[in-house]
Each structure stands twice: as C-alpha cells, then as structure tokens.
Structure 1
C-alpha cells in the first residue's frame, strides 16, 4: 500500500479507511481517473535522447565519465544485407526452430489448439499469397504454443488435378501415354513443387513438423478419403446420373461450381428469335390470331436443341402488333416498351393474358422442320431482360434440365466433349465449334425466325485454369446430392464462429446456389472413383464391400494399384460374394477420378480424426475458399458426422499490388517472397515479410510492394532501437538475484508494471481474435507513448547517475527487465527471429534456454495498482501544466512550486515527495525539474516573475464512492542552482562542484 496512506496529515484518516477497505477487497479499484496520456506523449526534456543513447556521453567532465552508467550491449542497432540473412538462419539453427513443433507436442499441456491447414496446390513456386496465409497461421500457432497449449498443425498439399497434369505433361499431351505414365509425371511435378514450397515456408519461420505433412496423393490419405466416399454413398448421397454439367472443352473434363470463374466482360451474340404458335393455348384460342412467341437468348447455338419455351405463370403477357409490318408477337407485358425501343417501332397491344392462360400452347421449332415444342410454366423465368419467354434446351442449361425432368422432355446433347456439334445437330452443324454460332444464326435468318441480333456483354463461366469459356452439356457423371445436405450444413454453420462475420452470408449464399455437386473428372491424375461396370449391361458395381476393399489396397499400395493390379485382385471372390455379383471377368474398372475439392474436403477425416474432438479449432484460408475448401469440408463432414469440421473460420483477403491490382506476370507486378527475403535491394529477411502480414488488415485485400515493405523494415528498426535501449540498461543486472519487490519500488516504476499488465492483456486479446494488426498498433502506442515519451525520458538520470546497486536504480532495472521480457514475448509470434535474438542477449535465464520454450508474457495481478494510478496520473496532470508553462524550454532549468489544498490530491503528491522541497524526490523525477516545492498554499515571498498556472484533477475512487475534485496551482521560476558536471542536472551549488547526490556516489566509489 502507498506510504501516503499511513502518514499523519490533513485528510489522512479518510485515506486510511479507504486503504483498509481496498486491501480487504484485494486492491484499489478506481474508475474514471483522469488520464495522463497527454503527459506521456510529451517528449522528454532532459539532456539525452528519449529512446537511445544520450545526446552527450552523460558527463560534462571526462573526470566523471567512467562513473556514469551508460547503456552497454552487444545487441546490434542494425542488421542489413547478408548479415541479416545469415543471422536469421543462425537463429533458426541455434534456437531449434526445426524441433520446436515436436518439442511442444511432447510436453504435457492441459489445453490443445488445432489449426487445420488447408492444402496449397502443388503446381508452382511459392508466392506472396502463400506467405500471407502461412505466416498468418504461424502467428496464431506460436501465440497458442507460448500460452502453454499443445498445438496441432499438420501442413498439407493438394496434389491431384488437371493443372498439375497439364503442367507435368507440357507439350507432350496425353497421346501415347498410359494412365500410369501420366500419373508418374504428374507425381514428380507435384513433388518438386512441394519441395520448393516447403523450403520457403520453413525459411519464413513457420513452425511445424515438416517430416510429417499430409499429401492427397498419399495412400493413407486416399484410403481415408474413400471411407468418406463410401459412407456418403451408403447414405444415398452419392449417385450416378446423366444430366447437364459445366464442361470445359479446353480441359476435356467436367467441372464443379468451385472450379469456375465468371468473366464479366464475356461477349455473346444474342438473338431475338420467333417461334410461331401452331396451336394456341385453349383458353385464348378464340382470338384466332397468327402470332409468334418471341424469345431472347445469349446462347443461340443451343436453339437446335430446343425442347420447349417457358413462361412465368404469375406474370402478364400481351399479344402485340408491329406498327411497321403488322407482325404479331407474344411477349411479357412489362417487356413491351423495351422491345418496341429495340425494334424502333410502335407495338400495338392486341390482347392481354395472365401467364397461366398460356398452358397448352404449342410452337413450331424455328430451325427443325416438322418439330413442335410446347409452352411450359417455369419459375426461373425473369423479367429483367429479354421478352419474358425463355428458350429451353434441357441438355444445355441447369434450369432447362429441371423443366425437362418435371415434364419428361428429351435431353438430347448436340455438343461433344471437344465443344463441336455432333450428328444430332444435323449435317449443317456437325463438327462445327465456334463457327457453329454463325451457322445457327444464318439458319434462323433463312427461316425468317431472326428478328434481331445484338452484342451482349455479360458474366459467363470460364474454366479457372485454362481461362476459356465452358459449356453446359449432359454427361454421365457422379454427383453428391447437396440439396439434401444444405439444411444440415446451414444449421452446422450457425454454430461456427466466422471472422469476419460478414463472410457468413457469402457462405450461406454459396450453399444455396449448389443443388448438386459433380464429383467425377475425366482425367488420369487423381483418386479413382472405386466403381466397376458390367461389360454387358453397363451397370455400376459399387458398395461398402468393394469400396472398403479398394480403400485398404490404396492404403497399402497407393492408388496406382488401380491400374497395376489384375481385376481379380481388385474384385476378389469374397468381395464379389458379399456383393452378390458375378465373376470379376464380367467387369471393367471405372476410369473417372474424384474432384480435387472432394480430395481436399475430406482432409478432416485423414488429419483430424486422431484428435479427441475430431474438429479443428479453426480453418484459416483466403476468401476464394468460401466456395471451395470451406464448403467441401463442411458438406462432407456434415454428411458423415452431422457436424462441421471446424469451430471457427477465418477468411482473409488476397495479396495485391500497391495499386490494389491483382498480381500478374504479364503486368509485371508480381512480388516474389524469395526476392523480398533474399534477393531484393535491400534484402529484407523473413521478419519483414512476417511484419507485413501482421500489420495488414487481413480481412480485406492486402497490398504489398516497395513502400509497404520499406515501412515494415523501418517499423522493425524503431522497435529494435527500443529493445537495444532496454538491453543496454540491463547490463550487469540479474533479475533472479537483484530484482526489487514491487512494494519497494518507486511509484512510477510500480505504475509502469501496472501499464505493462494492461498492455499484455490487450495484446493477448488481439492475438486471440486473429488481429495481429491490433497487436502492432498496441505495441507501437505503448513504446511511443508510455515508454519513449514518458518513462524512458524520466528515468535516465536515475539509471545513468544513481549508484549502481542503489534501490532506485535496481527498482528501475527490475521494471525495464519486465518490459523487455513482456515486449519481446508479445512480438515473438510475429518476429520470431528477432525475439529469439533479443532473448539471447537478455538477462535472467540460462544460456541454452530459448524464448519459445519459456512461455507467454508473465504479467502479475499484483501489478494492477489502480490507487497508484491516481497518484502518478495526478502528478502527470500537474506535469502537463508545468510543461505547458515553459514551451520549448528545458524543464531541468526550472524550479517548480506546487500548491494543493489539504485533501486526497495533496496526500497523493505527498506520497511522491515527503519533504517540502526536494531535488531528488519521485515527484521531482516525474516533473524532470531542478527542484520541486510542495505546499498547501503558495508562499508569500514568491518571485514576482514566476509563471503561474492552475488546474484541477478529479479523484474518483471505488466506482464513485469517494470523489474529490482538487484544485492545484503551480509557479515556475528559473533555478538558481548550477549545472552538475556529472549528471548535468541543475542541482549543484556551483558550476565547478558536484551536486550532493553525485558527490556522495563518487566519494563512495573512491
């Protein structure tokens, strides 16, 4: 408790009672205390630099130079170029970065933390997107490990898929190569990419057991994936069907929604085409008019495959007549004005009908003689564009297929896998691809069915790998019925914490859009769908016995065995018997592989199942995974286990150029993380890259470039300067032997521990929220305001000029060591290399000990001293008034008189200075003045030239139980004392002699 609480003076009884009540309650609980933030922001007004070495060497006379305790440390102020790179690698080696993950897995820990790594794609060199993702994860993992949790983090790679296959084959193509040869080349390519990426991740300081990663081409992983497949198939969630899918002619395979990217600048040749009504709907047949249904489509190539024209039953439709040639069309009433403007003529309304009255109407197909198609109701018809009547080709549209399923329409595919028309399209179109559009339009002209053609710029799906347009065409594929999973998935998602919360709606929207998921691919490089087909009937053989057997083979031999082993081994007699099938020779093995999103989406089964909860605490990936890995993981886990595989989701943005543009080799704005670390001018090292990640607002797109990296380097340099100051002033100090008990410390030192505790709480909270940017902001504010501008400027005299082993100096050093330790640990997750380097120079631990094996910030509840806060912040309020009275002048040249009426504020100030006048009191130190006089009223003999100022300070104790607003006055006068040649304070009797404090110290030394 503060000594002031036991002193006998005015108001002391009240304060003593307050102290006793507070002690019984565990401490002084103050609320609403006036902050001295403005004071802490004021730069020091002493003789030295605020945050480093003194401007002068601390002595005006060489005679006393050796008696001044200046900072000394071997910790370098700067590390640049090759020295920086060598030092980082040396730190990794000396401090056991490679063994840290396995060490923390072996230690006993009450709590666990599981961050499940989304597998990066093994198809190229590491890029800044990898750096953003992996470093963000590592910051959280290192924080959790420092807190004492056992971290579960298994890095993984997505190793299958078309892009790897295409890159591996290069110009060879697939001609003449067997599936096994293709797979071997693809595996070699993936392994090379993995090796390069893994080396980069290790260089960035990412903590993991790099010998125990997971790979989707590993047999054990494939077996776990097939187990998920089998369980979903057993529940009827996986089925085979012939229906439209997104098909990439450029890749020669079906694509899932997540493998598409929409090009908003796609240009289509859109047409308005007429379908003459040959049979009027019964309810409007009395009109007896010759009318054509008018449709609009951006995909005229699909018109030969038309099977119907759809209308919206709840909309209103009109028969209109052209003013220029008397042609009559059936269109949606609300589209009439737009169509008239398009045609450049008036349209006279002949009749108006409810959409429901169009039922039973039949049209003539415009390009196929003698073919008739019905008018059918459909809810997907909109009035946003076009005519309100939709041409329907069930083979080439998802909604069109739904209509066909409902009304039993034929699904005739007229386009082959290479994107060319087949024989069903007729001789004029067969074997045509892009030119087929022109041919269809010409056919419409010949039939007088083309009303107008226009260029239409709209969003259209592209293959995200080849960047070429896709088509919708029917194909016999394997699907997951996501329609039946959506409600469960949404329910599971409601229990998941999403950062930022705004991403949740995107996740739900993506789920809503997906009615089924095509999971089969027509490639060689992937996990085979374990299905066999009967040679004669074509019927699929797949059940829990066949899949379980194949999964075991894959686990033992890898999925190459699908081609390597005879079919009798893949379908042994006991499996055939359980399956009630014939002989193995009656079957052929399937050739489709699973979608890579199913590959990676099953990672929870291969990586997390060993964990007790079998759920990850968090998944952390970029926003593109909202429709990718986040969703495929959720759907597979909900299907098998009725729960999400994650408790939290963190969705970060992309890395972009400093202009906010997507990085592109063609544009030349790609930032290579290897160049950032090793080959740039300058070479920045890994910690700068990590700082860039931490400082960024990762929940939006993150800019990187020369200015961002230079700023990160400068910020680290300033931090390094602060750490060097701390280390330098701890030379020769061993906190294990020389630390001062907080109760014996100077009050400003106790106050700094109080602030350090608040800092540690803020930092801990920020890390827990995946907000490393807030960590940096809190750190920089603490260093700039609390340390550099306030504490460091005040204590330097005590540090440099007090006796080495004095209580005041040891008190200060104890706090500096706590600050050094707390700040170093707080930045360790972000800057592990520099944190360990500081720890190597720091006192108080064995040389072989490393920071990351020694825990998180060791703040103590004892440091929380709100009552002390009132004392120091009351002094800060007075300090504000003092410094504002002498703008631009040196506070050390002035004497300060403080007058406070008897009361709580006077008691608080008296605790900082017991005697009426002092040059060495804690109050004088806080004011940085030559002398401070403390009184209950201004002296009568005050110098008439004194600068006067007044102020008030509100003391608010125990939540307002004790409130007292105290007034104070100050008087500032130039000091008459001389400057001490040793400490350079104006406290000496004459210029050629030492001040009493320095004289005592020097005489003791001799």
Structure 2
C-alpha cells in the first residue's frame, strides 16, 4: 500500500508536501463534465431522450428510490418577500443585540475600529453605505473569529453647513447665538436619526443607543482637555496673520475646508513697477547700458485686487535677470532671463537684451508703487519665486498671501488688511476702492487704475486651480485676521515619525499623507460662527489680552460636561470665570474686567479629538475613511494625538475611494446620476427593483474600494446575480443534507472516500485564503476566492463526481454519509465565510442548516472550523493524479459521455501506481473510488496495456510528476490510457452503464432498493 511505501522511502517524513510542478497531462483541470445533474432530472421527471417505453417505465418505477435534494430554502427571493425576509432575519437572529452580546463575552483579544464621524447635515447616501458597510464587514469578521469588537459609531454635529441649512432663508438677522444653536441642534438630530436608521437597515453591527456625538457635553469636555494640553505645551497660540477667509460664510477656513476649482477663471495682468533706486551693485552698469531711460520691473499676478496692498517685489537670488528693450516702443523691462521668450510672445514684440545680471545683484533696488503716490517698495530675495509662469518677479502683498507673509516676517514689512469680512475693500484702500467687492468690481477698478497710470502692460484670462469654500462653493480670499492657530510646523516631524509606524492601505496613500503634512505650516482653528464648541478664552475689556490657562479651561470643561456648551452663552461671566479661578491665575482686577470670546473651534478640531472621547488612552487598530480624509480627519486626529500623547491614534489607516456613477462621474442631483441607497434596497420610482440590503453590501465588498467605486444598474445587477448563483449552490447543499445530523451521523475523515477527504483539504485551503483576504480589508478578494472555490472545486469537480453516490447509494451507507459529512462542512464553511458580507443570507442559511439547536445564530457560533486533520499524507497526490489521468481521458473523447466507456489505465510500478491502487485495490471495478473519480462505467488498473485491445480502442499517454517535501520524494511517472465503449447496459435507476440488461438494476441499485424496502 501507498503509506507503507512512503514509510519505506523515508521514515522521517511527517507529512506529504504539495507538488510544486506537474509534467505532461498532470495539471489538475477542474473542468465541467458531461456527466451533469440533467441525468438526475431525467430520473425524477421520468423523461428521457429516444428510449424504449419499457426503459422509461422502469425509470418511473424507481424514481422515488433516488435520494434527490429536498429543501424549503427558496432558490430566489425578490421584491417585497425579499425585504420582509431580511427584516424578519434581523429580528429573529438578534441583529440589534449582537454588538452588546459580543462585548459581554470573555475573550483575550480586542479589535478596535474607531468610527470617523459622518456629518449630520443630510440624508444617508451611497458614500455612507460604502464606508459603513466596509467597516461592518471587518467588524463582523473579527467578531466571528473570536475578537471583542470595539466600535462606537459617531456623528460630527457642529459647523457651518448645519448652521446654514438650519437657518435656511432666515439668515442670522435678529437671532441670538443660542437661538441659532437651538435650530442647528434640532437639524442635526433629525439628520442623525435618518442616517442611523439607514445604517441599521444595512445590517451594520453596533450598539445604536451608545453612540458619540460631538455636541454632547462629555465629548466637548474631552475636546477641551485636548485643547488645554496643546495650549499648555505651546502648540496653540493667537496671532494676526493671513488665513483663508470665506466672504460667503464670513468665517476663517482651514486648508481641509477648501475645494480647489480647476476651472476658475482669473483676470491675470502684467504690470510695471518703475525702478526709482537702482540696485547699488549694478547701478552704474545699468546707467551705462540704458542711458537716462528708466527701467521698470515687470510683475504678473492672477489677483489684481491685491496690488494696492503691495509691499515689495521678490526675485530669486540664484536666477538670471535681463533688462529687455521692447522693439515696438523702446520700453525697458526687467524680467527673468528664462521667461524672456515667453514674455516676448505674449506681448507680440521682440525683446532685445540690454544687459543680464544675477538675482542677488538686484539687492537694494527700490520701485515706485504704480497706484499709490509716494509709496516705495523694495526688491527682496525670496525662495518661493519660480520660473514656471509669469516674469520671475513676484508682486508681494503680505496681507493676502501665505508666502508673502513669510517675506514680511523676515523683512519686517507692514501687514495691513484692506479687505473686510464681506470681501470688500476697507477705507485703507482709498476712497476709489472702498466698499467694492475685491473679486468683482474691486478687480475691475484696480485694473482700470493701472491702465490710467500707464502701468498695465497686458491683461489675459487665466484658467487655474483656485480655492473655494467647500460648503458655499464660492471663491475664498486670503486676508489677515487675529485668529487662534496650531503650530503644525513644530509638530510636523513628530507626526511624520508616528506615521512611519502606521500601516497604510493602500500604501500609495502614505505619500499623500506626508505631502499634506508638509504643506500645512499652521492650522487656523478659530471660526466666527455660533454653532460649535466655543474657544474657552476671555479677553480683557481694555487691553484685549487673552486670558486662558489650565485653571480656566478645566473649569469650563467641567461646566460643559455638566450642562453642555450652550452654557457659554447662558451663564454669567462670574460663573464662567469665578473669582477663585481668576485668583489662581494671579489675575488683577475684578472678573467684570473680562468678556467671553465669541469664536468657536474648527470642526476638524472637534472630530480630530474624537480619540480622546472614545478611545481614551488606547489606540485604534484601524481608521477607515474616504480619501478626502487624508487632509481632514486622518490628519487632525494625528496632529492632536501626537501633540498630547506623542503617538498616532491608529495602528493602521484604510483609505477608500469615492462612490461614482457607472460612467465614472461624480454624483450630482443636477446631473441626475445620484444613486440613493434607500432606493437600492426598497426599489426606486424609475426602473430600480428592490435589491435588499445584502446586494448593497455585496456591491461594497465586490468593488475595488481602493479606487473610485462605481454604482449603477450594471454593478447592482452583477451583485444580485452573484448572490443568486451563491443561493443556487447553497440550496443544493441544503437539499442534500435533508435528514442528516452531523452531530450523530458524521463520518470520521479517516473513513471517508479520498475525494471526500480531498474536498475537506480544499475547504481548509479555502478557509485560509478567505481569512487572509478579510484580514487585509480586501473583501473583494474574499469574494473572488469564494467564487473560484465554488465554481471550480465545489461545483465542477466535487458535485459532478459525488452526485451518483449521493443520490443512488443506500441512505445510511458509509459512502453517502461520508459525502454528506463533507457537504455539511462545505455548507458551514461557505456560510461562515460569506457572513461578514451577507449577514442576512448567512443567517437564513443557518436557520435551514442541520447540526445546531433552534434559536442558535451563526454570528454567535464562530468562524470557519477547518481542521489540520483534513491534511492527509498522499491524499492530494492520489486525487490530483487521478484527475490528471481523467483529463487525458476526456481529451480523447471530446463531446462524448464519459459514463459510456470502459477505461484501462496502465502505469509502471512506482508511486503513481500505488496512489491509484489506494483508490482501487482490485484490477477491475465498476464501483471503486477511481471509477467514481473517472466517472466511467469500469476502470481496469494494470501495469501495462494488454496486447489484445479492440481495434476501436482510443489510446492516449501522459506523465504525472510527484514532487513531495521540496523534492525529497520526486518521481515522474508515465501512464497510458485505453478507452473502449462499454458493453454493459444502462441501469434504469442510476443510469450508469453497469447493469446486465436495460430492464435490470445494477448490483448497487438492487442493494439500495432492497434496503429502502
């Protein structure tokens, strides 16, 4: 026998290894065979093709003795029945209590997925579905495999969008901050209720009564603790500097609150600043080259309205600059040498170079401001000057540019703001410009003034990327304002170091995270609105100096925890800043010398501090959000946690794409391509059937979530069809387990047929692959592994081989029970493996499946239970060797029914022969395991082909390479096959060609029928 031979070869081998390669016809091809279920449909219906009446009569006689599948599990659920069944399953299987149940059980390991708060400003959409279902798939998987899941859903409840929607057309006129907050809270609560109901309908597992909300007093108190810690460490400060300002919202904005409109059109201009003091290092040289003619510096800007705020013109120290003479009017212009050709083309004239200098030689030059009489502006070096566009000389207005402000800080330039909160020029800009909107009529007027004084050289339209307020979709301006900031420059290196220890999926997103950190030198966290957490600062009535320290903030945090942040407006100053708190700060004067601040915190600080309120001292195993959070929640969470705890709040980041239409377009109500998840589940008004929640979940799982995720009829129909095919397989499995109880009737793997043991081996490999896929947040791979396993291993290979034994062997025979044991294991494994994605279907199957008591649910019974016992020495080689031989045989009878042939297999003595002997001990058989695998009438197993083969015999040859334990055992075996039509008759019951005559049962069926009676 095989195992004796293996022992003789090497007694030290603990197990047989997997083959690493195959030779000849040895590749295992799991092909669909002609021996299909139609054979059994004929038996059950009594119908057949061109058969004698007596044969058909005999088949009808034995029809009831064939053990065909029976189950009340429906093949298909559609429409209202599907929706009702999903809701029944949620109730019957305790979906609402599952999270609490798993939190109470005692387990060794915890899996913490921290929920990024969706914004409470509207109805649930497919972006919510993508995010929440993706998280739920991982949470359910972790719970099934024995982890205690920590997942507390949350909502981001503050901020301008909610405030604006709550106020609607009313605006803020006549409303107090408390009235505005009351309306905003009510709006947010209504949105939360709608979103929460949708998340529950999608089957998302959580304790929905224990969520976190950023407007809760306890949450706000935890947030203020983070604020106080960062302030005490010097990370938070107040300053007067340029920030992004939204005139349409009348508030400061952070970088994360901007959208960049790539199609924005600006009126770009080229303007001259006459040089009135030549650079000392080259003054004599310029005079020599140009005579007494004046030279003008040529600048380019896409924001002409900032010209009145100009304080300098910047150059690049290492670049080359030329004085150019216009051929059309002899004007002398100073331009970067590298930009000369482009400027000449733009002006439509030749530019003759009069002289060339290095940028550093321009030091000390002074220009005349073109529109403000008697104002002089210096030429200054700056590293932000580039040669990509313009003239290589940059107009610098420190009040209206971040880089310009850096220059002003270095050279002590004035930073005067000429623009008010409505985006209009103030009186500082002069009477001609005062009250004009800078982006419209203000720009018109400045260009007109430049033209009148002869400084305008050229105007052009420039299409470029420009920042917009992400809520109002209106352009923003940069203007200086006294605000509160986080010094992210001092946190940047710490944050980068912390990020290096974080796993990022996909890894390509790490570069974007680092780039976002690099771009952000400071973070403006104050907002000039009412709906949010007030910045806990008091200002002296006379001096305006801020009062903020650990005593004042701790006191306010305590009040917020008890009463909520409305108390900032409700309580008197004496309660907010009692005398004893003021005394701790050594404050001078009475409490009434102070007023409370009116700014609120940026909502990114709100949500970025969620780790403090939800995770406390621990770190989440994962944050899972869309790619827009690379510059948002991912970053604000990182910066606040690093500032307070010197570590990232997450161990891994999962960054998914956006949901888009099937054409790849962004969803828009105006375009009409929005897909409503409620319509997906319950059916829409226009050609949208009721798909149910599991189809929505399958769509999420099947998608490549690391890119843009398309949704529409094609994607949803594909998901529905995928589930439909799966139901078909599950129905077959359930139907063949009718009356089988694995707790008392299961067969020990060692007593099973080899093909049954092999199926368990494949099931074990499948369980390992699908577990790995879920562990990598790759539900799409889990589905692909599932579909390949069912199509190739289960349906095409195993089902086609075992149907005869399953249907026609005696009901309680070892062979049939062996087969049912495997089918139950496959059903159980497949059902558990799909459960994270399809919880409704999984529980529905579990309700019909054998082997557990009524009232048990799948999600309380664990993950796939594969066993190492299923891996047996020689098993894989025996079955795959037989399948390799079968492939050679099938290729010799293309399109023919394998059941009508006798097969003679000749193999030289060796390992392959012994492997086949383990499947068929006798030289010739119609009932051996080898016959079952070959699916033929008879197999003759011999060491050489007989000489007296019939003339019509079909011959084929092949080789099978056995390669075990990395080559320790290696044998390349040749085999030959002779195929001849069988002389046996077709059995009227099993329809195999193993009977003596057409009206006589084969020996196996005789035994089965006699046992049944």
Structure-2-length-normalised TM-score: 0.97
Cα contact 2:161–2:471 (8 A) shared by 1: yes
Is 1:516 matched up with 2:507? no
Cα contact 2:2–2:911 (8 A) shared by 1: no
Is 1:29 matched up with 2:36? no
Correspondences of 1:579-590 after superposition (within 5 Å): 579-581=585-587, 582-590=589-597
- Find the aligned partners of 1:57 and 1:132 in 2 and give their Cα distance: 50
Correspondences of 1:226-265 after superposition (within 5 Å): 226-265=224-263
Cα contact 2:26–2:885 (8 A) shared by 1: no
Match of 2:110 in 1: 112
Structure 1 unpaired stretches of 5+: 7-13
Correspondences of 1:118-197 after superposition (within 5 Å): 118-197=116-195
Q: Which one of 602, 621, 624 corresponds to residue 625 of structure 2?
A: 621
Cα contact 1:248–1:470 (8 A) shared by 2: yes
- Find the aligned partners of 1:605 and 1:256 in 2 and give their Cα distance: 22
Give the drift of 1:52. 9.5
- Find the aligned partners of 1:449 and 1:52 in 2 and give their Cα distance: 92
Match of 2:479 in 1: 473
Match of 1:9 in 2: none
Give the drift of 1:47. 4.9
Q: Which one of 26, 35, 41 corresponds to residue 46 of structure 1?
A: 35
- Find the aligned partners of 2:819 and 2:445 in 1 and give their Cα distance: 88
Of stretches 370-379 and 666-675 in structure 1, the one that deviates more from structure 2 is 370-379
Q: Which one of 312, 317, 338 corresponds to residue 313 of structure 1?
A: 317
For residues 70-103 of structure 1, the C-alpha deviation after alignment (integer angstroms, 9 at most, x for no partner) is 1111110000000000000000000000000000
Partner of 2:143: helix, strand, or coil? helix
Match of 2:8 in 1: 17
Give the drift of 1:522. 0.2
- Find the aligned partners of 1:328 and 1:233 in 2 and give their Cα distance: 53
For residues 340-387 of structure 1, the C-alpha deviation after alignment (integer angstroms, 9 at most, x for no partner) is 111111111111111111111111000001111111111111111111
Give the drift of 1:43. 1.1
Match of 1:862 in 2: 869
Cα contact 1:51–1:725 (8 A) shared by 2: no
Partner of 2:355: helix, strand, or coil? strand
Correspondences of 1:261-410 after superposition (within 5 Å): 261-286=259-284, 287-288=286-287, 289=290, 290-410=294-414
Cα contact 2:26–2:958 (8 A) shared by 1: no
Match of 2:929 in 1: 922
Of stretches 267-276 and 282-291 in structure 1, the one that deviates more from structure 2 is 282-291
Match of 1:913 in 2: 920
Q: Which one of 465, 469, 480 corresponds to residue 463 of structure 1?
A: 469
Cα contact 1:29–1:959 (8 A) shared by 2: yes
- Find the aligned partners of 2:897 and 2:519 in 1 and give their Cα distance: 70
Give the 3 Å change call, closer, same or farther, for CA 738–476 of structure 1 in structure 2: same
Q: Which one of 636, 639, 644 corresponds to residue 640 of structure 1?
A: 644
Partner of 2:69: helix, strand, or coil? coil
- Find the aligned partners of 2:969 and 2:497 in 1 and give their Cα distance: 51
Give the drift of 1:316. 1.0
Give the drift of 1:1002. 1.3
Match of 1:902 in 2: 909
For residues 578-630 of structure 1, the C-alpha deviation after alignment (integer angstroms, 9 at most, x for no partner) is 011132111110010000000000000000016xxx10000000000000000
Cα contact 1:30–1:866 (8 A) shared by 2: no
Is 1:431 matched up with 2:435? yes
Q: Which one of 70, 83, 89 corresponds to residue 68 of structure 2?
A: 70
Correspondences of 1:432-511 after superposition (within 5 Å): 432-433=436-437, 434-511=440-517
For residues 459-492 of structure 1, the C-alpha deviation after alignment (integer angstroms, 9 at most, x for no partner) is 1000011110000000110000000000000000
Of stretches 167-176 and 579-588 in structure 1, the one that deviates more from structure 2 is 579-588
Match of 2:51 in 1: none
Give the drift of 1:700. 0.2
- Find the aligned partners of 2:164 and 2:647 in 1 and give their Cα distance: 36
Give the drift of 1:1003. 1.9
Partner of 2:436: helix, strand, or coil? coil
Q: How many residues align?
A: 991
Give the drift of 1:995. 0.2
For residues 386-411 of structure 1, the C-alpha deviation after alignment (integer angstroms, 9 at most, x for no partner) is 11111111110001111111111111
Q: Which one of 77, 97, 100 corresponds to residue 98 of structure 2?
A: 100
Cα contact 1:53–1:71 (8 A) shared by 2: no
Q: Which one of 826, 831, 841 corresponds to residue 834 of structure 1?
A: 841
- Find the aligned partners of 2:39 and 2:680 in 1 and give their Cα distance: 32
- Find the aligned partners of 2:503 and 2:46 in 1 and give their Cα distance: 56
Structure-1-length-normalised TM-score: 0.97
For residues 281-300 of structure 1, the C-alpha deviation after alignment (integer angstroms, 9 at most, x for no partner) is 11111132410111000000
Of stretches 200-209 and 285-294 in structure 1, the one that deviates more from structure 2 is 285-294
For residues 623-650 of structure 1, the C-alpha deviation after alignment (integer angstroms, 9 at most, x for no partner) is 0000000000000000000000000000
- Find the aligned partners of 1:320 and 1:952 in 2 and give their Cα distance: 83
Cα contact 1:50–1:788 (8 A) shared by 2: no
Of stretches 284-293 and 197-206 in structure 1, the one that deviates more from structure 2 is 284-293
- Find the aligned partners of 1:215 and 1:66 in 2 and give their Cα distance: 63
Give the drift of 1:196. 0.3
Partner of 1:71: helix, strand, or coil? coil
Give the drift of 1:40. 4.8
Give the 3 Å change call, closer, same or farther, for CA 866–118 of structure 1 in structure 2: farther
Give the 3 Å change call, closer, same or farther, for CA 54–209 of structure 1 in structure 2: farther
Match of 1:993 in 2: 1000
Cα contact 2:71–2:735 (8 A) shared by 1: yes
For residues 652-703 of structure 1, the C-alpha deviation after alignment (integer angstroms, 9 at most, x for no partner) is 0000000000000000000000000002332000000000000000000000
Q: Which one of 194, 214, 217 corresponds to residue 216 of structure 1?
A: 214
Q: Which one of 788, 800, 813 corresponds to residue 781 of structure 1?
A: 788
Give the drift of 1:30. 3.4
- Find the aligned partners of 2:518 and 2:866 in 1 and give their Cα distance: 48
Give the 3 Å change call, closer, same or farther, for CA 322–389 of structure 1 in structure 2: same
Give the drift of 1:718. 0.2
Match of 2:722 in 1: 715
For residues 397-438 of structure 1, the C-alpha deviation after alignment (integer angstroms, 9 at most, x for no partner) is 001111111111111111110011110010100011110111
- Find the aligned partners of 2:598 and 2:124 in 1 and give their Cα distance: 32
Give the 3 Å change call, closer, same or farther, for CA 155–762 of structure 1 in structure 2: same
- Find the aligned partners of 1:511 and 1:718 in 2 and give their Cα distance: 47
Match of 1:525 in 2: 531
Is 1:878 matched up with 2:876? no
- Find the aligned partners of 2:205 and 2:1000 in 1 and give their Cα distance: 59
For residues 174-233 of structure 1, the C-alpha deviation after alignment (integer angstroms, 9 at most, x for no partner) is 000000000000000000000000000000000000000000000000000000000000
- Find the aligned partners of 1:52 and 1:148 in 2 and give their Cα distance: 43
Of stretches 747-756 and 863-872 in structure 1, the one that deviates more from structure 2 is 863-872
Query: Which portions of structure 1, spanning 4 or more consecutive aligned residues, are displaced by more than 6 angstroms?
Result: 35-38, 50-55
Cα contact 1:244–1:473 (8 A) shared by 2: yes
Cα contact 1:45–1:928 (8 A) shared by 2: no
- Find the aligned partners of 2:198 and 2:1008 in 1 and give their Cα distance: 56
Is 1:730 matched up with 2:721? no
Cα contact 1:41–1:784 (8 A) shared by 2: no
RMSD (Å), alpha carbons: 1.4
- Find the aligned partners of 1:983 and 1:201 in 2 and give their Cα distance: 51
- Find the aligned partners of 1:752 and 1:729 in 2 and give their Cα distance: 16
